C-alpha cells in the first residue's frame, strides 16, 4: 500500500499553489532574489517518520526560525534565572524588528522579537566564550536539532550585514541598559550568521519534531535540550512566535510556531508532530502567506489545534467486574489507555462508588500504555487506602508500567502478570 499522507500533502499544496499574494522580504537584498514560486511542506512524526511534498530539499536561510532554538540552547547553557533576568516572556504585539524594550529594566519583551533574539544569542554557550566559539556552539546546537551539520549562506549573511542598521541600533540600546555586556556589533554579527544558516523544509520539520518529542531528535536519538527547556520554548512560541499576528494564529491554527523572513514556517505539536512549510512570499507581519494558509488547513483537517479537547477521561476505566463467587470473589478494575490526572481521578471515583466488598481487589493495567507521574502516585494512594480498609490489593501489570510500586505508609501491593495469579495467590494465602 502507498501511504496516503504524501498524497494528502501534495493535494493541499496544489490547492494553494496559485496564491501569489505577498512578496519576498525586501529589506535583505539577497532574499529578494529568491524564487517566489517555491512551495513545500513536511511532516516529521515524533518517532522519526518523515513525509513531504513539493520543495522539501531546497535550501534557504533559517532567519528567525533560529530564535526558539538558540533560546533553548541559552536556557540549557545558562539556566532559566540568568536568561529570564535579561529577556522576558511577554508577547509584544509588535513587529519583529520593533525597537522596544521593557520600561525601566531595558529587558526585551520576549526572545522571538529581534531585541530578545540578539540578547539570547549573547547568552548561548558557556560564560566567557568569545564570539567565534559562541557561534560555533550555536551552529552545533542547531545542527543537533536538525540531525545534520548546517552551514552558513555567506552571501545572505553579508547582504544582511550591509543593511543591519536597525539590529545594530537595537543592540546599542541593549548595551546601554547593560542587557548586552559586550561589543554590540560583534553580537549582531553572530546573530546574523545564526540567521543565515541554510536549512531545508525537511530539516525544519525535524527540528520542530525534536521540540515535539520533548527535546530528543527523533532521527538521531540525541537528547538536544532538557524537557523543562522544551516546555518553556513551546510556551513562548505559542504566545510570541507569530509576532503581532500571534493572537490570530493561536485561535485559528493553535500550534506553537515560528516564522522566518526567508519563507520558512515551523509548528511543533507536543507529543505528535513537527511541521514545516516553505514559501517565500510574506504578508505584512513578515510571515509566509502560503505557509500560514497551509498551517490553517493542516490544523483544521487533522484536528491539530493544541486546545482541541481530547476524548473523555471516562474511558480510562474499561470495565469493573467480579470474578468468582462467595469467598473466592475478586473485584477487578480493568484500566486502559494513557492515564494522566483526569483519568486517575476517574479511577479514584470508580473505586469509591464501587466500595468493594470482596477482599481481593485487582487493578488491571494490562491495557494501559502510559501513566504519568501524578497518575501513578494517585493509583498507589488508592492501593494504600484499600490496604488500610482491609483489602488485598493486586496490580496486574505484565509490562511493569509501574515499576517497583511503593504505596507508602501502611500500603501493600502484589504485582502479578495475569488475573489467574490473583486467584491462586489469594487462595494460597488461605483467603479462598
67 is catalytic: yes
Cα dihedral 283/288/294/296 (nearest 10): -50
Q: Which of 187, 261, 276, 363 binds ligand GLN (CB under 6 A)?
A: 261
Residue ranges of the alpha helices (H) in 324-391?
341-354, 373-388
369 is catalytic: no
Closest approach, Cβ 132 to ligand GLN, in A, equals 19
CA 432 – CA 426 distance, rounded (Å): 6
Residue ranges of the alpha helices (H) in 92-218?
114-123, 131-146, 154-162, 165-176, 184-195, 201-212
- Which residue reads 518529542 in cell numbers? 213
CA atoms within 13 A on the CB side of 317: 20
Closest approach, Cβ 64 to ligand GLN, in A, equals 3
Residue ranges of the alpha helices (H) in 389-431?
419-428
Closest approach, Cβ 146 to ligand GLN, in A, equals 17
Closest approach, Cβ 156 to ligand GLN, in A, equals 9
Q: Which is nearer to ligand GLN, 240 or 316 (CB)?
A: 240
Taking the CA atoms of 263, 268, 269 and 273 in sequence, report the sign of the dihedral they define: positive
Q: Is 383 in the site for ligand GLN (CB under 6 A)?
A: no
Give the burial class of 419: count Cβ atoms within 10 A of its Cβ; 0-12 exposed, 13-18 middle, 19 or more buried.
Answer: middle
Q: Which of 195, 237, 330, 395 binds ligand GLN (CB under 6 A)?
A: 195
Q: Is 167 in the site for ligand GLN (CB under 6 A)?
A: yes
Residue in 42, 46, 67, 413 annotated catalytic: 67
Closest approach, Cβ 256 to ligand GLN, in A, equals 17
Q: Which triple of cell numbers denotes residue 399?
A: 509490562
177 is catalytic: no
Q: Which of 68, 215, 260, 411 binds ligand GLN (CB under 6 A)?
A: 260
CA 405 – CA 371 distance, rounded (Å): 13
- 173-212 per-residue burial string, b: 16 or more CB within 10 A, e: under 16: bbbeeebbeeebebbbbbbbbbbbbbbbbbbbbbbbbbbb
What is the DSSP code string of 16-60? HTT---SB---SSHHHHTS-TT--EEEEEETTS-EEEEES-S--E
**N- to C-terminal Cα separation, the chain:** 54
Give the burial class of 303: count Cβ atoms within 10 A of its Cβ; 0-12 exposed, 13-18 middle, 19 or more buried.
Answer: exposed
Q: Which is nearer to ligand GLN, 295 or 394 (CB)?
A: 295
Q: Which is nearer to ligand GLN, 76 or 265 (CB)?
A: 265
Tell me which residue has its CB nearest to ligand GLN: 64
Q: Which is nearer to ligand GLN, 160 or 397 (CB)?
A: 160
What angle (nearest 5°) sits at the alpha carbon of residue 216, between those of residues 214 and 218? 110
Closest approach, Cβ 31 to ligand GLN, in A, equals 9
Neighbours of 352 (CB within 10 A): 10
Q: Which of 91, 286, 343, 411 binds ligand GLN (CB under 6 A)?
A: 286
243 is catalytic: yes
Residue in 42, 51, 156, 243 annotated catalytic: 243
Q: Which of 92, 97, 143, 200 binds ligand GLN (CB under 6 A)?
A: 97
**Total number of residues binding ligand GLN (CB under 6 A)?**
11
Residue in 12, 46, 51, 64 annotated catalytic: 64
Residue in 56, 206, 261, 413 annotated catalytic: 261
Q: Is 44 in the site for ligand GLN (CB under 6 A)?
A: no
Residue in 83, 191, 233, 368 annotated catalytic: 191
Q: Is 246 in the site for ligand GLN (CB under 6 A)?
A: no
Q: Is 96 in the site for ligand GLN (CB under 6 A)?
A: yes
Q: Which is nearer to ligand GLN, 260 or 360 (CB)?
A: 260
Closest approach, Cβ 34 to ligand GLN, in A, equals 13
Q: Which is nearer to ligand GLN, 188 or 363 (CB)?
A: 188
Q: Which is nearer to ligand GLN, 157 or 362 (CB)?
A: 157
42 is catalytic: no
What is the DSSP code string of 195-260? HTBEE-HHHHHHHHHHHHTTTB-TTT--B-S-HHHHHHHHHHHHHHTTGGGHHHHHHHT-S-EEE-
Q: Which of 31, 53, 55, 64 binds ligand GLN (CB under 6 A)?
A: 64
Q: Which is nearer to ligand GLN, 160 or 358 (CB)?
A: 160
Q: Which triple of cell numbers denotes residue 238?
A: 505559542
String of contacts with ligand GLN for each residue 108-147, x by CB under 6 A: ------x---------------------------------
Interacting residue ranges for ligand GLN, rule: CB under 6 A: 63-64, 96-97, 114, 160, 167, 195, 260-261, 286
Active site residues: 64, 67, 191, 243, 261
Amino acid at each position: 500500500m502507498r501511504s496516503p499522507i504524501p498524497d494528502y500533502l501534495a493535494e493541499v499544496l496544489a490547492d494553494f499553489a496559485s496564491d501569489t499574494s505577498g512578496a519576498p522580504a525586501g529589506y535583505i537584498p539577497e532574499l529578494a532574489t529568491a524564487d517566489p514560486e517555491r512551495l513545500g511542506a513536511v511532516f516529521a512524526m515524533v518517532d522519526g517518520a518523515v513525509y513531504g511534498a513539493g520543495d522539501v530539499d531546497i535550501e534557504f536561510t533559517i532567519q528567525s526560525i533560529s530564535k526558539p532554538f538558540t533560546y533553548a540552547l541559552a536556557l540549557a547553557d545558562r539556566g532559566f534565572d540568568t536568561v529570564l533576568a535579561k529577556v522576558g516572556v511577554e508577547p509584544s504585539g509588535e513587529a519583529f524588528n520593533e525597537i522596544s524594550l521593557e520600561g525601566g529594566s531595558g529587558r526585551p519583551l520576549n526572545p522571538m522579537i529581534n531585541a530578545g533574539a540578539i540578547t539570547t544569542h549573547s547568552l548561548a554557550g558557556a560564560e566567557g566564550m568569545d564570539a567565534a566559539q559562541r557561534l560555533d556552539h550555536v551552529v552545533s546546537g542547531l545542527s543537533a536539532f536538525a540531525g545534520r551539520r548546517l552551514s552558513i549562506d555567506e552571501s545572505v549573511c553579508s547582504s544582511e550585514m550591509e543593511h543591519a542598521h536597525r539590529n545594530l541600533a537595537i543592540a546599542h540600546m541593549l548595551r546601554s541598559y547593560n542587557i548586552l555586556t559586550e561589543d554590540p556589533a560583534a553580537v549582531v554579527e553572530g546573530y546574523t550568521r545564526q540567521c543565515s544558516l541554510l536549512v531545508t523544509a525537511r530539516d525544519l520539520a525535524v527540528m520542530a519534531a525534536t521540540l515535539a518529542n520533548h527535546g530528543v531528535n527523533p532521527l538521531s536519538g540525541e537528547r538536544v535540550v532538557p524537557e523543562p527547556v522544551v516546555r518553556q520554548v513551546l510556551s513562548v512560541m505559542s504566545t510570541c512566535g507569530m509576532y503581532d499576528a500571534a493572537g490570530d494564529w493561536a485561535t485559528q491554527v493553535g500550534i506553537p510556531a515560528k516564522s522566518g523572513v526567508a519563507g520558512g514556517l515551523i509548528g511543533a505539536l507536543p507529543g505528535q508532530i513537527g511541521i514545516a512549510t516553505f514559501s517565500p512570499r510574506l504578508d505584512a507581519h513578515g510571515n509566509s502567506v502560503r505557509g500560514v494558509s497551509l498551517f490553517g488547513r493542516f490544523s483544521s483537517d487533522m484536528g491539530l489545534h493544541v486546545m482541541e479537547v481530547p476524548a473523555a477521561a471516562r474511558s480510562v476505566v474499561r470495565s469493573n467486574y467480579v470474578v468468582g463467587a462467595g469467598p473466592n470473589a475478586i473485584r477487578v478494575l480493568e484500566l486502559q489507555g494513557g492515564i494522566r490526572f483526569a483519568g486517575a481521578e476517574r479511577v479514584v471515583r470508580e473505586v469509591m462508588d464501587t466500595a468493594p466488598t470482596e477482599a481481593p481487589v485487582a487493578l488491571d493495567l494490562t491495557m494501559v500504555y502510559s501513566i504519568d507521574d501524578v497518575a501513578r502516585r494517585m493509583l498507589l494512594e488508592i492501593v494504600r487506602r484499600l490496604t488500610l480498609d482491609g483489602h488485598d490489593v493486586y496490580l496486574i501489570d505484565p509490562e511493569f508500567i509501574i515499576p517497583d510500586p511503593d504505596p507508602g505508609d501502611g500500603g501493600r501491593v502484589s504485582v502479578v502478570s495475569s488475573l489467574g495469579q490473583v486467584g491462586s495467590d489469594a487462595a494460597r494465602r488461605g483467603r479462598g
